[in-house]
Structure 1
Amino acid sequence: MKRRAAREKAFQVLFQMDINDVDPKEALDHVLDEAKPDEFLTNIVFGVVEHKEEIDQKISDNLENWTIQRLASVERTLLRIATFELFHGEDETPQGVIINEAVEIANEYGDDKSGKFINGVLSKIIQ
């Protein structure tokens, strides 16, 4: 599985968990529909779950006039994935690539302002 596809699957899993409060393994099984998960995908999903409090704090510290609870699930989920990758992911992925992928997925799944919002928050996080 290519990394872009893995990020999209991770987004789907974590979005489902955010909306329905389901177990990560159950959400993975549902999204993958009997396909075998790859290591990059599982690292993102379980990494976000493991570091959720720290990730949410980093995001909250960089929001202006918003709380993390008020964010739409699309934006909240993508910010969690990208923040995890920026601080706990493999060192080989450049920050720009991580941010760009999050923006592109936001443009696909969110509204017309999601990508700009994601880009702005992540840019503040890495400063």
Structure 2
Amino acid sequence: MKRRTAREKAFQILFQMDMNDIEPQEAIEQVLEEEEEDLFLTNIVVGVTENRQAIDQKIEENLEKWSFSRLAFVEKALLRIAAYELFYSVEEIPQGVIINEALEIAHIYGDEKSAKFINGVLSKMIK
């Protein structure tokens, strides 16, 4: 599975976990259906889940004029994935690639302002 596809599937899984309050493995199985599980995807989902409190705090610290609780599920999931990759993943991925991937997925699943908002928060996080 390509990394873009894995990130997109991880987004769908984390989104579903937020919406339905289900466990990671159950969400992975529902999203992947018959597809083979991917290690990169699983690492993102498990990593975000295990570090969620710290990731959410880091996101909240970088919000301007917003509270974390007001964020839409799309933005929360994408910011969590990017924050995990930026600060907790053992993978060596350039920051620009991580941010660009989050923005590309935001263009697909978010509204017209999602990508700009996500870019602003992530840019502030890496300063």
Normalised by the size of structure 1, how large is the TM-score? 0.98
Structure 1 gaps of 5+ residues are none
1:30–1:91 distance in 2 versus 1, CA, 3 Å: closer
* Structure 1 partner of 2:117: 117
* Structure 2 partner of 1:34: 34
1-side partners of 2:106 and 2:72: how far apart? 11
* Structure 2 partner of 1:104: 104
Superposition RMSD in Å = 0.7
* Structure 2 partner of 1:19: 19
2-side partners of 1:88 and 1:42: how far apart? 14
Deviation of 1:92 (Å): 2.0
* Structure 2 partner of 1:93: 93
Q: Which amino acid aligns with 2:72?
A: A
2-side partners of 1:91 and 1:23: how far apart? 24
Q: Which runs of 4+ in 1 moved over 6 A?
A: none
* Structure 2 partner of 1:68: 68
1:91–1:46 distance in 2 versus 1, CA, 3 Å: closer
Normalised by the size of structure 2, how large is the TM-score? 0.98
Deviation of 1:90 (Å): 3.3
Deviation of 1:121 (Å): 0.1
Alpha-carbon deviations, 1:22-70, whole Å to 9, x = none?
Answer: 1100000000002121110000000000000000000000001111110
Q: Which amino acid aligns with 2:79?
A: L
Q: Percent identity?
A: 66
* Structure 1 partner of 2:55: 55
Structure 2 gaps of 5+ residues are none
Q: Which amino acid aligns with 2:64?
A: E
2-side partners of 1:102 and 1:12: how far apart? 13
Number of equivalenced pairs: 127
Q: Which amino acid aligns with 1:110?
A: G
